[in-house]
Amino acid sequence: MTRINQCAALNGVALVALILHACENKALAKADLEKHLDFFLTIQREAPYSEHLTIPEENGAELLEHVISLNKVTLCQDSFGTIISLDDSASLEMRYYRNNILHTYALSSLVCRLLTHNSKISHEKIISQTISLLKTLKTDLFLWQTPQQITQQVESLLIALEGNGVIKQTKANFWSLIDNTPQLNQVHLLAECIDESLQRLAIITSLATRLAPLSRRELEEKVVAIAKRLAVLNNITAPEFIDKKAQATLINTLREQGYMTLNDEGLLVVCSTMDELKSSVTNLVSIEVLQSIAR
């Protein structure tokens, strides 16, 4: 499956689905959506997810016109222009297209997340945290990159972002966003694409740390219960967000990677490495999410 994912193909429908699902209300002004599409395309052209990735030749406006012609989105006119959105029925269908390319933006979204959630961050920390977090999501998203490949891709992405006037680097090798850049909104929206995956990680790492020792079944049930609550509070309609099997897969990955283990009674307990992972994840999710988990 990971080899198949290397050969992914981007298209207008999937890109629009990815972008709109990253928006709070699954809606954007048409002009803004076109700019986001152009930015997402630029990222893959200058720092591709894979050399086998197929990238459309069209620009954002051309891709959006095609998506509109397929009746995949809802158009609403007001005095300021056209708003593009997803209604409830289209949202579920477009979720499928979004999921088909999410893995191609996992790394770039995570790097942007690190940049938007830190006033400044070292080059080494961006790489180490990207490697650590993508490793936990590797099975979930069928990612193929090794730590060395992740390092190379992160460096290519940082160069691309710097070349587009989005970030700057200090002499001490720290990166930060450039304030008031026209593309700042695009960076923040790209950072939102990985949000649901990070929320799921935050739920598991927080509950396991607080409640261990407990059985795997108990952890899965508590994780699903919190996920359902967050889904309602944050209007998350993704079936996989509250799916018990999906949570079990993520829990199993954390156990395989040494963040959790079984004690003599067969109950899950956290390992010393969990604290660092939990800290990294909780720094990247909103305070509202953390408060919901704490309750």
Q: What is the DSSP letter of 194?
A: T
Q: What is the pLDDT of residue 238?
A: 78
Q: What is the pLDDT of residue 4?
A: 65
Of 165, 193, 221, the one marking the end of a domain is: 193
- Count the Cβ atoms, other than its own, within 10 Å of residue 216: 16
The label of the residue with tokens 């930015």 reads 39
Q: What are phi and psi of 58, to 5 degrees?
A: -70, 160
Residue 58 in this model has a pLDDT that exceeds 80? yes
Give yes or no: residues 148 and 261 share one domain.
no
Work out the percent of the chain whose per-residue pLDDT is above 70: 99
Q: Point out the least confidently predicted range of 22-31, 38-47, 52-61, 227-236.
A: 227-236
Q: Which residue has the higher pLDDT, 294 or 199?
A: 199
Report how many domains make up the chain. Answer: 2
The CA distance from 218 to 208, in Å, is 10
The CA distance from 140 to 81, in Å, is 39
Of 193, 212, 239, the one marking the end of a domain is: 193
pLDDT in tens, 74-93: 999 988 899 999 998 898 89
Which residues constitute the domain of residue 54?
Answer: 1-193
Q: What is the pLDDT of residue 157?
A: 98
Q: What are phi and psi of 171, to 5 degrees?
A: -65, -25
Arithmetic mean of pLDDT, 191-203:
95
Which of 160, 135, 137, 159 has the alpha carbon at shortest distance from 148? 135
The CA distance from 207 to 293, in Å, is 8
Tokens found for residue 29: 């002004």
Average pLDDT value over all residues in the chain: 94
Give yes or no: residues 107 and 174 share one domain.
yes
Report the CATH number that the domain containing residue 133 is assigned in CATH: 1.10.10.10
Number of H helices and E strands in the chain, helices first, is: 14, 8
The label of the residue with tokens 């992972």 reads 277
Contact 113, 194 (CB under 8 A): yes
Residue 3 in this model has a pLDDT that exceeds 90? no
pLDDT in tens, 266-277: 999 999 999 999
